[in-house]
């Protein structure tokens, strides 16, 4: 009798412990023994899942009774919700993720508007219409191995976002019905943004930075400048006040991306300005219109400043390599470099006088630095004069020695 009681107590204790730790729940115990990947994977993957880390169990999402060791654990009567259909996934997650009070118990800064955002997205709207090919929560976040956004292994970690989106958006066969391009990610990979990200700057923009994450929507034509302007503030402001603003709006052209492209945003070059072969201005402006002349003027000013800077750089470098002290001129020349950067910014006013204002300042500085470099090189020539004098004295001495030798030797003979 005593032993029976003890066994019973132990069993109750064990069951209690199993209920407290999801790892030992009947869900894990049984599913870990199954063979079909679909059924065994949840039990295997859940260990590293953020929900497991936060102390949640299978039953917290799927319902049912983890203490029941028979199949009845998964009966409707025990609140078992099973696996949600694709269309039901957002609501399934939102049971908790839309409950701000509940979410703040885990992370006081956590937002709870993901579902409402999602419903405004193209993904969300189409899912509502019964399209089950679109992305729902688990398509981006994973299913039983959901990781924090800050985890470098997470598919939603900034550096991994592009490949997560590409999973569907670069798959031409999968995207066939939607009639949208599938080369966005390939284009993005060539952009400066992707380069920055690859260099480890996780604040560099990826797909979701411009398109939103849960409320993923392509920015409309009119909102492009706003999207780019969230980071490129100065340019957005200049564009806003420029003659292009009204003209683009009238013609229904998107702002920034008209010249800079939307996904393949490469490092701009001075050649884009002007009327040359690589110019972006001449895609719209033709010879004779004021914009054409303005573009030409801006390009000339930029080129003139650039040339002056290159010349000063070369002369100062030459002088420095030859051992002349030109550091002050070099510091001054950084102001010309700065003017060049500012002039490139001012191109976005699309007014040539605004560009010239800056390039003229830069030109003056560059010319002054250049003169310092030239002067330093001239000092080198002065050294050559000193050398000349010294060489003359040496030659005189050599001549004297030569004559002396002749004299001595003629005397020795005679």
Partner 1 sequence: MPSSEQRADKPIQTGRRWVNVLLGSGLVASVVSFLYPAIRYIIPPPVAESTSRSVVAAKVDELKRNSGKVFKFGSKPALLVRTADGTYRAFSAVCTHLNCTVQYREDLHQIWCACHNGLYDLEGRNVSGPPPRPLQMFEVHVQGEDVVVTRSA
Partner 2 sequence: MSRLYRRTLAWFDERFGAGSVEEFLRHKTIPVHRHSLWYYFGGMTLFLFIIQVLTGILLLLYYRPTPNDAFESVQYMVTQVRFGWLIRSIHSWSANLMIFAAFVHMFSVYFLKAYRKPRELTWISGMLLLFVVLGFGFSGYLLPWNTLAFFATKVGTEMAGSVPIIGKWLLIFLRGGEEVTGATLTRFFGFHVAVLPGLATMLLAIHLFLVQQLGMSVPPGVERAIAEGRKPARSTPFFPNFLLRDIIGWYAALGALGALAAVFPWELGTKADAFASAPAGIRPEWYFLFMFQTLKYLPAKVLFVDGELLGIFGFSVAALVWVAVPFLDRRIGFGRVTRFFTGLGVFALGYMIVLSLLALR
Binding site for partner 1 (CB under 8 A): 196, 201, 231-234, 327-328, 330-331, 334-335, 337-338, 341-342, 345, 389-390, 393-401, 403-404, 407-408, 411-412, 414
To the nearest whole angstrom, how small is the minimum distance from the Cβ of residue 225 to partner 1?
16
Provide the token pair at 251.
């013609």
Residues 323-382 that bind partner 2 (CB under 8 A): 323-325, 380
Q: Is 404 in the site for partner 2 (CB under 8 A)?
A: yes
Q: Which is nearer to partner 1, 304 or 337 (CB)?
A: 337
Q: Which is nearer to partner 1, 32 or 396 (CB)?
A: 396
Task: Please choose, out of 13-21, 42-50, 120-128, 406-414, the segment that lies near partner 2 by the rule CB under 8 A.
Answer: 406-414
To the nearest whole angstrom, how small is the minimum distance from the Cβ of residue 215 to partner 1?
24
To the nearest whole angstrom, how small is the minimum distance from the Cβ of residue 326 to partner 1?
8
Residue 151, burial from CB neighbour count under 10 angstroms (0-12, 13-18, 19+): middle
Q: Which is nearer to partner 1, 85 or 413 (CB)?
A: 413
- Residues 285-324, one symbol each (x = binds partner 2 by CB under 8 A, - = not), give ------------------------------------xxxx
Q: Is 409 in the site for partner 2 (CB under 8 A)?
A: yes
Cα gap 256→273, rounded to integer Å = 14
To the nearest whole angstrom, how small is the minimum distance from the Cβ of residue 322 to partner 1?
16
Q: Which is nearer to partner 2, 95 or 406 (CB)?
A: 406
Binding partner of 159, given partner 2, partner 1, none, CB within 5-8 angstroms per partner class: none
Q: Is 171 in the site for partner 2 (CB under 8 A)?
A: no
Q: Is 95 in the site for partner 2 (CB under 8 A)?
A: no
To the nearest whole angstrom, how small is the minimum distance from the Cβ of residue 326 to partner 2?
9
Query: Distances in Å between the alpha carbon of 341 and those of 100, 296, 315?
Result: 46, 18, 21
Q: Is 390 in the site for partner 2 (CB under 8 A)?
A: yes
Q: Is 391 in the site for partner 2 (CB under 8 A)?
A: yes
Q: Is 408 in the site for partner 2 (CB under 8 A)?
A: yes
Catalog residues that contact partner 2 under the rule CB under 8 A: 321-325, 380, 383-384, 386-387, 390-391, 394-395, 397-398, 401-402, 404-405, 408-409, 412
């Amino acid at each position: 009798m005593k032993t029976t009681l003890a066994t019973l107590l132990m069993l109750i204790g064990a069951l209690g412990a199993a209920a407290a730790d999801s790892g030992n729940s009947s869900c894990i115990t049984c599913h870990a023994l199954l063979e079909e990947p679909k059924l065994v994977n949840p039990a295997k993957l859940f260990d590293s899942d953020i929900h497991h880390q936060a102390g949640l169990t299978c039953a917290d999402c799927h319902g049912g009774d983890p203490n029941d060791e028979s199949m009845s654990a998964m009966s409707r009567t025990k609140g078992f919700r099973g696996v949600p259909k694709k269309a039901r996934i957002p609501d399934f997650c939102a049971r908790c993720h839309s409950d701000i009070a509940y979410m703040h118990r885990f992370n006081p800064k956590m937002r709870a508007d993901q579902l409402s955002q999602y419903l405004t997205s193209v993904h969300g709207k189409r899912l509502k219409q019964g399209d089950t090919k679109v992305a729902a929560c688990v398509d981006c976040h994973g299913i039983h191995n959901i990781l924090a956004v800050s985890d470098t292994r997470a598919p939603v970690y900034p550096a991994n976002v592009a490949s997560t989106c590409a999973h569907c958006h670069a798959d031409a066969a999968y995207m066939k019905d939607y009639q949208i391009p599938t080369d966005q990610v390939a284009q993005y990979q060539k952009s400066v943004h992707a380069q920055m990200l690859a260099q480890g700057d996780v604040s560099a923009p990826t797909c979701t930075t411009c398109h939103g994450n849960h409320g993923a929507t392509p920015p409309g034509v009119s909102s492009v400048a706003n999207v780019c302007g969230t980071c490129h503030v100065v340019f957005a402001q200049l564009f806003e006040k420029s003659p292009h603003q009204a003209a683009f709006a009238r013609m229904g052209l998107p702002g920034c991306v008209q010249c800079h492209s939307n996904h393949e945003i490469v490092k701009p070059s001075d050649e884009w300005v002007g009327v040359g072969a690589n110019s972006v201005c001449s895609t719209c402006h033709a010879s004779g219109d004021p914009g054409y002349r303005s573009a030409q003027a801006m390009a000339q000013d930029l080129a003139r400043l650039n040339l002056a800077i290159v010349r000063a750089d070369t002369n100062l470098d030459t002088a420095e390599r030859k051992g002349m002290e030109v550091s002050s001129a070099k510091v001054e020349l950084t102001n010309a470099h700065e003017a060049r950067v500012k002039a490139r910014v001012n191109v976005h006013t699309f007014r040539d006088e605004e560009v010239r204002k800056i390039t003229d300042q830069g030109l003056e500085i560059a010319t002054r630095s250049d003169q310092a470099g030239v002067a330093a090189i001239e000092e080198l020539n002065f050294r050559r004069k000193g050398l000349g004098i010294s060489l003359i004295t040496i030659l005189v001495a050599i001549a004297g020695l030569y004559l002396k030798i002749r004299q001595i030797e003629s005397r020795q003979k005679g």
